[in-house]
Amino acid sequence: MTRTDFDAYCRRFKATEHVVQWGGASVWKIGGRIFAICSRWGAGKHAKISFKCSDLSYRLLSEQPDIVPAPYLARAKWVQLENDDAMDDQDLKAYIEAAYFIIMAKLTKAKRKELGLTLPSK
């Protein structure tokens, strides 16, 4: 997934905010909280995508080749894709969507109401 594709995909979620920070990283937030990042941190010229995970996904994904605990964010259960082949786009989109809902669930009820958001039913 290219950075352009990443930005287009993240933009489709309701009430998102986009900022460019940390040396040009594309940072996507909901309610002021980050759910996904596309950057060029570390070695290599390709974009590296990082996202928030559930505890189980974090454990499983960090054991996969070319997926590592995200620098500075691993303690909060974030992973980073080290190259473009680490995960196919369909799976990556599913994980980014899950990250969006994980972060949405962490917002207060008042904040979700202010943003017009509702949690998906289980």
What the block records as the tokens of 47 is 């974009």
* Total tally of structural domains belonging to the chain: 1
Residue at 107 is within a domain: yes
Q: Is the pTM of this model over 0.75?
A: yes
33-85 per-position pLDDT tens digit? 999 999 875 555 677 999 999 999 999 999 999 999 998 899 999 999 998 88
Instruction: State mean pLDDT over 17-36.
Output: 94
Residue at 86 is within a domain: yes
Taking each helix axis from N to C end, the angle separating 3-11 and 89-106, rounded to the nearest 10 degrees, works out to 40
Q: Contact 119/30 with Cβ under 8 angstroms? A: no
Q: Contact 118/108 with Cβ under 8 angstroms? A: no
More confidently predicted of 118 and 43: 118
Residue at 121 is within a domain: no
Residue at 91 is within a domain: yes
Please give the Cα distance from 29 to 103 (Å, whole number).
9
Residue 22: per-residue pLDDT: 83
101-110 per-position pLDDT tens digit? 999 999 999 9
For tokens 């933009």, what's the residue?
11
Residue 33: per-residue pLDDT: 97
Q: Which residue segment(s) compose the domain that 79 sits in?
A: 3-115
Instruction: State mean pLDDT over 11-40.
Output: 94
CATH number, domain with residue 81: 3.90.1150.30
Residue 2: per-residue pLDDT: 86
Residue at 122 is within a domain: no
Q: Contact 113/43 with Cβ under 8 angstroms? A: no
